[in-house]
Amino acid sequence: MNEKVKDILEWIYCIIIAVVLALLFRYFIGTPTIVKQPSMYPTLKEDQRLWLNRWGRTTKKMPKKGDIITFRQNDRIISHRIFGITKDKEEVKFITKGDNNEVYDKDFVSMQDIYGKVLVSIPKLGKFVRYIQNTRGFINIFIFVIIVFVLVSLNDNKKNDRKMKRKKYEIKKLRDNYNV
């Protein structure tokens, strides 16, 4: 098989493996989200990428006091810390507050509004994610990947050319030694 075709197939294979691993991670381990407000500063900063442990799918444990959870409230997605747990008509509700806020959140959070508990946070990754979600950013990253691929291929071609020249030189040297 041609070396270029083999290299392209290896790239495609790596991309497929990365996509499958990302989907498995998202489905079985966590859900990604981005911090959009400064209410959890300094624990969580704006534009941090968060991975959430989804309640019900990956864990049956009940959220506890001190956990940082991400939840929906008034059509907003918020990540705050649990400061208290109460029961309202036999339903468990959570009292939350951002670490940077002076007062508790006005509304209690019910279990069905919780997306999950924060597992991992990666600083500034949110800016990059928003950049590539933008059409212009995606095109720029796509072009960058193509340029890197072309440069790597050109470098491999130069190495192959040097190897071929070296082999030809060695064969010529062996012939010259044999003919003497």
Per-residue pLDDT of 11-49, as tens digits, reads: 888 888 888 887 776 666 667 777 888 899 888 888 787
Split at pLDDT 50, 70, 90, the class of 94 is very high
DSSP letters for 119-178: EEEETTHHHHHHHHHSHHHHHHHHHHHHHHHHHHHHHHHHHHHHHHHHHHHHHHHHHHHH
Q: Is the pLDDT at 98 greater than 90, yes or no?
A: yes
Residue 73 to residue 56: CA distance in whole angstroms: 19
Query: 58 pLDDT exceeds 60?
Result: no
| The two three-digit tokens of residue 77, written as one number | 């997605």
Q: What pLDDT is recorded for position 170?
A: 85
Q: What is the pLDDT of residues 141-165, one digit of tens each?
A: 889 988 988 888 888 878 887 888 8
User: Helix (H, G, I), strand (E, B), or coil: what is residue 58?
Assistant: coil
Average of pLDDT values for 97-110? Answer: 92
- What percentage of the chain exceeds 90 in pLDDT? 21
